[in-house]
A and B are shown apart, each in its own frame.
Chain A
Amino acid sequence: MLTNRSKVVVKKEMNFWERIYLPAILGGIIITIKHLFRRKATVRYPETKRYISDIWRGEHVLKRDEHGAERCTACGLCAVACPAEAITMTAAERKKGEEGLYREEKYASVYEINMLRCIFCGLCEEACPKEAIFLTNRIVTTDYDRESFIYGKDKLVEPVDNRIDVTVRQTQAVQEFKQHKSFSHNR
């Protein structure tokens, strides 16, 4: 009785008009016809696509820095922040000569997100101290088997020649912070 909308069921004999059901059927038909002239709730995908917000939380991306080196250092903060425990990683040490590939002396040799477990809450993005992981406005594509939803670095790391712009996702404070080139974080 929280909403006061519950009705007490009364078991009384139906009268003649109720028993022939015609008024009830007509009422139903009127509702159906009304809906024909309403705006449609669906779109004809894939011919038309719905507008997706810039800050939509969709498929993840592992960013590279300006020089093309991977930003992720496998610190594990995203994995510990993840409420669905979808993220796993293995760290490795950067060798001499790989400075262009990885930004810090440690990097993720394996980085996997299970897209079936992921609830797209964006806590990994929030936890990341290196601006490495972002959610994007891309939708995770469908597939036939479960294994293919475990996204590895091959799918997550952005290609060097096809960068994904995430500046719209960053707050003003972050944008301001990034102006200071003297901070070691921005170098």
Chain B
Amino acid sequence: MAKLTIDGVEVEVPDGTSILNAARQIGGALVPPAMCYYSSLKETGGKCRVCLVKVAQGSTKDPRPMPKLVASCRTPVGDGMVVQNLTSPEVLEARKGVVEFLLLNHPLDCPICDQAGECDLQNLAYEHGASTTRYEGERRTFEKIDIGDKIKLHMTRCILCYRCTYVADQLTNERVHGVIGRGDRAEISTYIQKAVDNDFSGNMIDVCPVGALTDRTFRFKSRVWFTDPKDAHRNCTKCSGKVVLWMKGDEVLRVTARKDQYGEVKEYICNECRFEHKKVSDWTVEGPRHIDRHSVIAQNHYEKIDLQKLKKEVERQLEFQRGKQLPENEIHS
């Protein structure tokens, strides 16, 4: 076990854990953002450089600071390590720079993009980035590619996080796409538009942090914030069958896997669940999906609330009314 402090908060984690995962054990605002790391895919991380943190003290044995900012998703913890994330202006500055780099070639077509509203890059740029660009060159553009009849690839929007290639590697038995080219010429290759027809290929839509890979069956159907997400399940022989239905009225517009608070899928779903079952009668609807209240999707979205939590929230507000500082929020997360 190793004991380390992140932004002054102490946490004990097993040896070999990455700094990012240690921070996620604490939770809250001090968790570094991540665009390429994906906890349920092996070997991911280390590409986008968004999760950079400052290690002010390597360990108790070797208290020297690390010479440069490190990628927290790939750096294992040490006993007595002191990590700075939000408390270090250097890290925030670097992160702002990284966001600017990620946005260099990213088109400003959020009004058109189906990912808008649930896009990791959008959130990241909003929180950490500058509102203007200094880049004056031409953005690189590509033709849109249909990968099979269910998935659309907008290479222009890709930030080269490589998550989808890991999906192809690890979830599907036969790898059919990867990355060709290097540096600024790198692009997702689909084996010359060969259809990706594995049972789990649809998961590359979910793992894509931007709108590069989108669901063709949902293309331009509705903006996500006008849909009503509901947890649902069905008996599926291939996967867990636990999904989120994105509904409009009685119509199922889209089916996705369930993402956790870091936008990561833990239980992947098969293509049959994702693309074939677009009727409510195919599913057992459990109830409204929990949506973060800061998300635009939370517009007109109502959830059942835990009465115990509600009581706590009322007490919290009463405390606030008595003129004390607002205690830590639990109900809205």
Interface residues of A (CB under 8 A from B): 73-77, 79-80, 91-93, 104-106, 129-130, 182, 184-185
Contacts and interface: CB of A to CB of B under 8 A. Distances in A.
Contact of B299 (A73, A80, A93): A80
Contacts of B108: 184-185
B111 interface: yes
Contact of A91 (B116, B220, B225, B299): B220
B296 A104 contact: no
Contacts of A75: 110-112, 116, 223
Contacts, number: 37
Interface residues of B, number: 16
A185 B108 CA distance: 9
Interface in B106-161: 108-112, 116, 136
In the A-B complex, the 3 residue pairs with the smallest Cβ-Cβ separation, listed nearest first, are A75-B111, A76-B223, A91-B220
Contacts of A130: 111
A94 to B, nearest CB: 10
Contacts of A105: 112
Contacts of A91: 220-222
A106 B219 CA distance: 10
B170 to A, nearest CB: 33
Contact of A80 (B136, B219, B225): B225
A79 B226 contact: yes
A83 to B, nearest CB: 12
Contacts of B110: 75, 129
B114 to A, nearest CB: 9
Contacts of A104: 109, 111-112
Interface string B288-305: 000000001001000000
B60 to A, nearest CB: 51
Nearest to A76: B223
B296 A80 contact: yes
B329 to A, nearest CB: 24
A93 B220 contact: yes
A76 to B, nearest CB: 4
B111 A73 contact: yes
A119 B268 CA distance: 45
Contacts of A76: 223, 225-226
Contacts of B219: 93
